[in-house]
Amino acid sequence: MTNDEIDQAIKEPIERIGSALVGAGRSRHQALQDIRRVVNRFEAEMNKEEGVIVHRCPPIGSNEMPCCGRSPFARMADRMTLEDGLVSCDGK
Ligand SMILES: [Zn+2]
Protein backbone atom coordinates (compact mmCIF):
# COMPACT_ATOMS: atom_id res chain seq x y z
CA MET A 1 0.00 0.00 0.00
CA THR A 2 1.37 3.46 -0.88
CA ASN A 3 1.07 6.41 1.52
CA ASP A 4 -1.47 7.98 -0.87
CA GLU A 5 -3.60 4.83 -0.72
CA ILE A 6 -3.34 4.76 3.09
CA ASP A 7 -4.31 8.47 3.30
CA GLN A 8 -7.27 7.78 1.02
CA ALA A 9 -8.36 4.74 3.08
CA ILE A 10 -8.18 6.70 6.35
CA LYS A 11 -9.77 9.96 5.09
CA GLU A 12 -13.34 8.68 4.75
CA PRO A 13 -13.69 7.04 8.20
CA ILE A 14 -11.99 10.04 9.89
CA GLU A 15 -14.45 12.40 8.17
CA ARG A 16 -17.31 10.17 9.34
CA ILE A 17 -16.04 10.28 12.96
CA GLY A 18 -15.59 14.07 12.67
CA SER A 19 -19.16 14.50 11.38
CA ALA A 20 -20.53 12.34 14.21
CA LEU A 21 -18.70 14.46 16.81
CA VAL A 22 -19.84 17.72 15.16
CA GLY A 23 -23.39 16.29 15.09
CA ALA A 24 -23.04 15.69 18.83
CA GLY A 25 -22.19 19.35 19.40
CA ARG A 26 -18.39 19.52 19.09
CA SER A 27 -16.82 22.20 16.88
CA ARG A 28 -14.75 20.94 13.93
CA HIS A 29 -11.61 22.01 15.77
CA GLN A 30 -12.65 20.20 18.96
CA ALA A 31 -13.52 17.10 16.92
CA LEU A 32 -10.01 17.06 15.46
CA GLN A 33 -8.54 17.41 18.95
CA ASP A 34 -10.79 14.56 20.18
CA ILE A 35 -9.55 12.27 17.40
CA ARG A 36 -5.91 13.23 18.06
CA ARG A 37 -6.30 12.62 21.82
CA VAL A 38 -7.74 9.12 21.26
CA VAL A 39 -5.02 8.24 18.72
CA ASN A 40 -2.38 9.46 21.21
CA ARG A 41 -3.88 7.29 23.94
CA PHE A 42 -3.74 4.22 21.67
CA GLU A 43 -0.12 5.03 20.90
CA ALA A 44 0.68 5.50 24.60
CA GLU A 45 -0.92 2.11 25.41
CA MET A 46 1.06 0.45 22.61
CA ASN A 47 4.30 2.03 23.84
CA LYS A 48 3.57 0.86 27.37
CA GLU A 49 2.93 -2.72 26.16
CA GLU A 50 6.19 -2.65 24.20
CA GLY A 51 8.17 -1.04 27.03
CA VAL A 52 9.00 2.01 24.90
CA ILE A 53 10.01 4.97 27.09
CA VAL A 54 8.78 8.35 25.82
CA HIS A 55 10.07 11.53 27.49
CA ARG A 56 8.66 15.06 27.34
CA CYS A 57 10.75 17.17 24.97
CA PRO A 58 12.81 19.86 26.77
CA PRO A 59 11.40 23.40 26.49
CA ILE A 60 13.20 25.80 24.12
CA GLY A 61 16.53 26.89 25.60
CA SER A 62 16.76 23.92 27.98
CA ASN A 63 18.47 20.55 27.56
CA GLU A 64 16.64 18.96 30.47
CA MET A 65 13.58 16.78 29.91
CA PRO A 66 10.83 18.00 32.30
CA CYS A 67 9.61 14.46 33.09
CA CYS A 68 12.85 13.26 34.67
CA GLY A 69 15.33 16.14 34.60
CA ARG A 70 17.77 14.22 32.40
CA SER A 71 19.47 15.27 29.19
CA PRO A 72 18.12 13.66 25.99
CA PHE A 73 21.72 12.72 25.18
CA ALA A 74 21.76 10.47 28.27
CA ARG A 75 18.78 8.52 26.88
CA MET A 76 19.52 8.17 23.16
CA ALA A 77 17.57 4.89 22.84
CA ASP A 78 14.34 6.43 24.19
CA ARG A 79 11.87 8.64 22.36
CA MET A 80 10.64 12.21 22.98
CA THR A 81 7.32 13.93 22.40
CA LEU A 82 5.67 17.35 22.66
CA GLU A 83 2.32 15.68 23.48
CA ASP A 84 1.78 15.27 27.23
CA GLY A 85 -0.57 12.33 26.62
CA LEU A 86 2.26 10.31 25.06
CA VAL A 87 4.79 10.65 27.88
CA SER A 88 5.50 7.30 29.53
CA CYS A 89 8.64 8.28 31.49
CA ASP A 90 7.95 7.71 35.19
CA GLY A 91 10.49 10.33 36.25
CA LYS A 92 13.08 7.89 37.61
ZN1 LIG B 1 11.90 11.45 31.17
d(CA 42, ligand 1 centre) in Å: 20
pLDDT at residue 84, as a whole number? 84
d(CA 62, ligand 1 centre) in Å: 14
Count CB neighbours of 89 within 10 A.
19
pLDDT at residue 85, as a whole number? 83
Q: Where are the domains of the chain?
A: 1-49, 52-92
> What are the Cα distances from residue 75, in Å, to 20, 29, 40?
41, 35, 22
pLDDT at residue 83, as a whole number? 87
d(CA 89, ligand 1 centre) in Å: 5
The pTM assigned to this predicted structure is 0.69
d(CA 48, ligand 1 centre) in Å: 14
d(CA 41, ligand 1 centre) in Å: 18
Report d(CA 70, CA 76) in Å as an integer: 11
User: Largest alpha-carbon pair distance within the chain?
Assistant: 47
d(CA 52, ligand 1 centre) in Å: 12
What is the pLDDT tens value at each position of the chain, 92 positions in all? 999 999 999 999 999 999 999 999 999 999 999 999 999 889 888 988 999 999 999 999 999 999 999 999 999 999 999 988 889 898 86
